[in-house]
Amino acid sequence: MKKNILTAALALIVFAITSCSKDDRYSGMSDDGPINEQPDVLTPENARSYMVDASATAETVALFYNLKKLSKTKYLIGQQDAFASFYNNAGGDSDIKKATGSDPALLGSDFMFITDDQNDGTPANWFYQQEQMIINNVKEAYNKGMVNIFSWHLREPFEGETFYTSDMTDQQKQEAFASILPGGVNHDYYKAKLDKVASVLNNLKDNNNKLIPVIFRPFHEFDGNWFWWGTAYCTPAQYQQAWQFTVEYLRDTKNVHNVLYAFAPDNSYTTSNNYLSRYPGDDYIDILGMDNYGDFANGSSTGVTTANNKLKMLSDLAREKVKIAALTETGFRVTSGTSPITGFFTNNIYTAMTSNNVELAFVMFWNNDQSGYYVPPAGQSNTQDFVQFANKAESVLQNTVPDMYTLP
């Protein structure tokens, strides 16, 4: 009897192994043997327990769950300001649609103009006009089944004119971040900015009066010092305090429940311990991101390997924490004086994102503008490189995006 049971068990094991897909991103197996990965514990029923907001709307919970599941086999392709910024100011369809026939699956927006001191909320005001355009673009993206993500290039709180430390005085650089913390001289100023963010998010509704989920990525690239929230201008504890206050104020005080929160340093971190050195905690983060331009800048295979190693660290950390991993910003800007990198999309970006069983939910390319592009529209020397990347089995544009807002 025991022999029969053992024989049956072995047969089941053989069947399971031979039935697995040959794609190791799907099967958890590779030609070299089993891949060491965490068991898949996320279910539609327990998704809220892994999220920042246990009271998130049903659509926001579905977005979290579906992004996590999608990352096991595919990634969304996105671009910042895709509906508003175009190479050579050639309006109309997004530049990605001009190249591929489809819009991106992810639209990047910014709260920068929305929270600007000069936005007085009147129809003739340029900043208010930008606010309305951004809101309309977000709604259009959502109606197309796309995902929306907001960054926030928040102006410094003294003059309200810049977010770059290169434009600030030494005193402003040293005092700005601490001043927005509870008890700081600019804390009320910061709360007023969060009030504006909350107002936009709480009124961001679809045609059925349902709140539109968004990803929010504040205080990004903090491991550099080009922004006033960089490592030289605040301690790890101060950074964590600001992040925790931001989440609690939006979620608990302003009752914002349609947000996934994304943590996104630049590319300086190579180990999980370093990556988590300013991490505010699992209770405050839904998405583990990384911005990375530098490793791709010279087109070298060494840079691609370095980028892949960092994304592998990120992906493994997201598996461990049951969070979502993403390449939250990247690209190489082509101008009249800067030629494209051969195979930048089909080889460099694709390899960094997919080798070594990396699981990323999305990649965000930065915006095109009059004088340069990160994603080529039709007619450029590297357009076909991007089209081939977009046609990869793992790539998702708007025309193939699954339902991201309904739980299975």
What residues act catalytically? 221, 329
Helices (H), 204-250: 236-248
Residue for token digits 């807002």? 405
> How far from 378 is each of 101, 231, 249, 371, CA to CA, in Å?
10, 40, 44, 16
What angle do the packed helices 187-202 and 170-180 form, to 10 degrees?
60
CA angle 301, 72, 58 (to 5 degrees): 130
CA atoms within 13 A on the CB side of 152: 26
Q: Across the chain, how many H-helices and E-strands are there?
A: 12, 13
In sign, the C-alpha dihedral spanning 21, 26, 30, 33 is: negative
Query: What whole-number distance in Å separates Cα of residue 295 and Cα of residue 266?
Result: 11
Query: What whole-number distance in Å separates Cα of residue 135 and Cα of residue 130?
Result: 9
Q: Find the distance separating the first CA and the last CA of the chain, reported in whole Å.
A: 41
Query: What whole-number distance in Å separates Cα of residue 358 and Cα of residue 324?
Result: 12
Query: What whole-number distance in Å separates Cα of residue 236 and Cα of residue 399?
Result: 42
Q: Which residues contact 162 (CB under 8 A, 6 or more apart)?
A: 155, 156, 168
Query: What whole-number distance in Å separates Cα of residue 336 and Cα of residue 20?
Result: 48
Query: What whole-number distance in Å separates Cα of residue 270 and Cα of residue 91?
Result: 40
What angle do the packed helices 170-180 and 236-248 form, to 10 degrees?
50
Residue 106 backbone phi and psi in degrees, to 5: -135, 130
